[in-house]
């Protein structure tokens, strides 16, 4: 195992070469990786089965959760999706070398703002071996080098997948070594945090605690989300059947997901009609409810919700409910207790919808649709490296574009700044070329 600093230095070198690769070479690499995965399916599955055996013991000892165990399993369907995902990423437009804008600064002085890779990206994630393949595909397509740290539970399958990817890349002459790097220990992660000279971005996909720890211990920019406390607000004009249907999907379609509903806010003007219907549907789906005092006057057989509930991501079949007097109270509640992830208004009032969309400060603001749509695939991004609640760089589901930055290319013929300064200064044209 190489030292993490050496890995990072080599990844940086690789990234500088990657920046110059053509789309054809990158697409060819993705094609070959998809083929190599299929060719090595039996081996990959066997390694995953070994991981599962060990995980089974951890599960029985209560050291990992059932959901981690479930996500670890590389079923036939998941394997096929994984391979299809590589080819999907191949089909996406190349995010690199796109001209974002162009300005004619003066005669023969043209400025181009052009997309380019970020460089070296560290990604820390849990179980799920298919994440290795997804992130490697995105990295290759976006010309970034990556340092991957996966969950220890998936160690054998992850190791196999990284080997297959790297063996494939090594058959392509133009491709530099050390593009896809894999580290295994938590110590490596800690050591990565000090390597801000070589690593340009860290994407932690894990617990709030992990994300906060990383943010507090590195100068490297961090992209990710800590909490996913998503809200639905049903205003006085809400279509109640639609609202209940959307709320149920948002809560139960995958309760452990970060885009699942945690708190429902409802206008006091419709609460007595909305809440009994909601309760029936939620109870049918084994969702436990907690409510504010006003809520419990309408649906009495539920627990009380405290201030702690408003800031809790249950990640489970629990929903907190609050009755609010108007949209302003709802927006204020969301901006105070929410996590800036995804929040939805159920409404037939154009004015309220516009207000909610403008003033709720979240990565996703939704109208009459399940919060579970917050996902790179559903958004049409092809794939995602994660969901960001940052207020800089990239927000919401992050696909290829979030793995790019830009550089300015300025083409001149000997212009100097002195000519554009002081008396008789030449004037800039600043005409838009693109």
Q: Which of residues 5-24 bind its own copies (CB under 8 A)?
A: 15-17, 19-20
Structure tokens at 227: 């909490």
Q: How far is the CB of 263 from its own copies (least distance, A)?
A: 18
Q: Would you say 46 or 80 has its CB closer to its own copies? A: 80
The CB-of-199 to its own copies minimum distance in angstroms stands at 10
For residue 102, state whether it binds its own copies (rule: CB under 8 A). no
User: Do 248 and 255 form a contact (C-beta atoms < 8 A)?
Assistant: no
Least separation, in Å, of the C-beta of 407 and its own copies?
6
Binding to its own copies, residues 190-209 (CB under 8 A): 196, 200-201
Both tokens of residue 18?
A: 């990657």
**Look-up: residue for tokens 């369907």?**
77
Provide, rounded to whole angstroms, the least separation between the CB of residue 61 and its own copies: 32
28-87 residues in contact with its own copies (CB under 8 A) are none
Find the shortest distance in angstroms from Cβ 213 to its own copies. Answer: 10
Considering only residues 42, 62, 417, 423, which one is a binding residue for its own copies as defined by CB under 8 A?
A: 417
CB 38, min distance to its own copies, A: 24
Q: Which is nearer to its own copies, 298 or 403 (CB)?
A: 403
Q: Report whether 193 contacts 210 (CB < 8 A).
A: no
362 part of the interface to its own copies, by CB under 8 A: yes
Q: Between the CA of residue 343 and those of 66, 256, 261, 328, what are the distances in Å?
A: 28, 17, 8, 14
> How far is 127 from 353, CA to CA, in rounded Å?
39
Q: Which of residues 220-249 bind its own copies (CB under 8 A)?
A: 221-223, 239, 242, 245-246, 248-249
Helices 76-91 and 41-60, packing angle to 10 deg: 120
Q: Which residue of 44, 105, 189, 282 would you call a contact of its own copies, by CB under 8 A?
A: 105
Q: How far apart are CA 115 and CA 109, in angstroms?
A: 20
Q: Which stretch binds its own copies (CB under 8 A): 50-58, 122-130, 263-271, 363-371?
A: 363-371
Nearest to its own copies of 17, 210 (CB atom):
17
x-or-dash pattern for its own copies, window 364-403, by CB under 8 A?
xxxxxxx-xxx---xxx---------xxxx-xxx------
Number of residues that bind its own copies (CB under 8 A): 77
Site string for its own copies, 331-360 (x = CB under 8 A): ----x-----------------x-x-xxx-
CB of 65 to its own copies, least distance (A): 22
Could you give the string, one character per residue 115-154, with x where binding to its own copies holds by CB under 8 A and - elsewhere? ---xx-----------------------------------
Give the separation between CA 344 and CA 365, rounded to whole angstroms.
6
> Closest separation between CB of residue 92 and its own copies, Å?
11
Interaction of residue 93 with its own copies, rule CB under 8 A: no
Query: Which window, 31-39, 183-191, 261-269, 414-422, contacts its own copies (CB under 8 A)?
Result: 414-422
Question: Which of 346, 320, 328, 365 is closest to 240 using CA atoms?
Answer: 346
Tell me the β-bridge partners of 233: 265, 345
Contact 105, 111 (CB under 8 A): yes
Ordered alpha helix ranges (H), 194-239: 208-216
What's the CA gap between 397 and 96, in Å, rounded?
19
Q: How far is the CB of 155 from its own copies (least distance, A)?
A: 30
Per rule CB under 8 A, is residue 277 in the interface with its own copies?
Answer: no
DSSP 57-119: HHHHTTSS-HHHHHHH---HHHHHHHHHHHHHHHHSPP-TT-EEEEEEEETTEEEEEEEEE--
CA distances from 125 to 118, 122, 206, 267, 331 (A): 20, 10, 6, 39, 32
Q: Is 109 in the site for its own copies (CB under 8 A)?
A: yes
Nearest Cα residue to 376 out of 359, 399, 357: 399
Closer residue to its own copies, CB minimum distance, 70 or 293: 70
β pairing state of 342-346 and 303-304: unpaired
């Amino acid at each position: 195992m190489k030292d993490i600093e050496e890995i990072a230095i080599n990844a940086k070198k690789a990234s500088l070469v990657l920046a110059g690769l053509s789309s054809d070479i990158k697409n060819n690499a993705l094609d070959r990786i998809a083929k190599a995965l299929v060719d090595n399916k039996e081996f990959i599955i066997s390694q995953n089965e070994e991981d599962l055996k060990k995980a089974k013991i951890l599960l029985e000892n209560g050291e990992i959760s059932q959901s981690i165990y479930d996500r670890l399993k590389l079923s036939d369907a998941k394997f096929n999706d994984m391979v299809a995902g590589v080819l999907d990423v191949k089909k996406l437009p190349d995010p690199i070398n796109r001209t974002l804008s162009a300005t004619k600064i003066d005669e023969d002085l043209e400025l181009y703002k052009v997309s380019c890779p970020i460089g070296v990206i560290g990604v820390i994630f849990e179980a799920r071996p298919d994440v290795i393949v997804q992130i490697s595909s995105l990295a290759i397509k976006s010309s970034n080098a990556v340092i991957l740290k996966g969950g220890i539970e998936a160690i054998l399958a992850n190791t196999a997948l990284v080997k297959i990817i790297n063996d494939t890349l090594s058959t392509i002459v133009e491709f530099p070594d050390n593009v896809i790097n894999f580290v295994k220990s938590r110590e490596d992660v800690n050591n990565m945090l000090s390597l801000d000279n070589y690593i340009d971005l860290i994407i932690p996909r894990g617990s709030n605690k992990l994300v906060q720890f990383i943010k507090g211990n590195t100068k490297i920019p961090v992209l990710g989300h800590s909490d996913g406390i998503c809200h639905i607000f049903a205003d006085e004009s809400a279509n109640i059947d639609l609202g209940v249907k959307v709320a149920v999907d948002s809560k139960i379609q995958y309760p452990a997901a970060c885009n699942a509903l945690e708190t429902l806010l409802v206008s006091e003007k419709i609460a007595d009609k909305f809440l009994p219907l909601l309760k029936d549907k939620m109870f049918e789906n084994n969702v436990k409810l907690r409510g504010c005092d006003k809520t419990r006057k309408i649906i009495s057989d539920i627990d009380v919700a405290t201030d702690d509930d408003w800031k809790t991501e249950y990640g489970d079949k629990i929903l907190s409910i609050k009755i609010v007097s108007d949209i302003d109270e709802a927006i204020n509640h969301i901006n105070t207790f929410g996590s800036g992830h995804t929040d939805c208004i159920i409404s037939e009032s154009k004015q309220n919808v516009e207000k909610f969309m403008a003033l709720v400060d979240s990565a996703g603001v939704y109208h009459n649709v399940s919060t579970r749509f917050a996902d790179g695939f559903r958004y049409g991004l092809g794939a995602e490296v994660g969901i960001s609640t940052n207020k800089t760089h990239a927000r919401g589901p992050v696909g290829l574009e979030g793995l790019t930055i830009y550089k300015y290319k300025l083409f001149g013929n000997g212009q100097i700044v002195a000519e554009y300064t002081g008396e008789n200064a030449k004037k800039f044209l600043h005409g838009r070329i693109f």
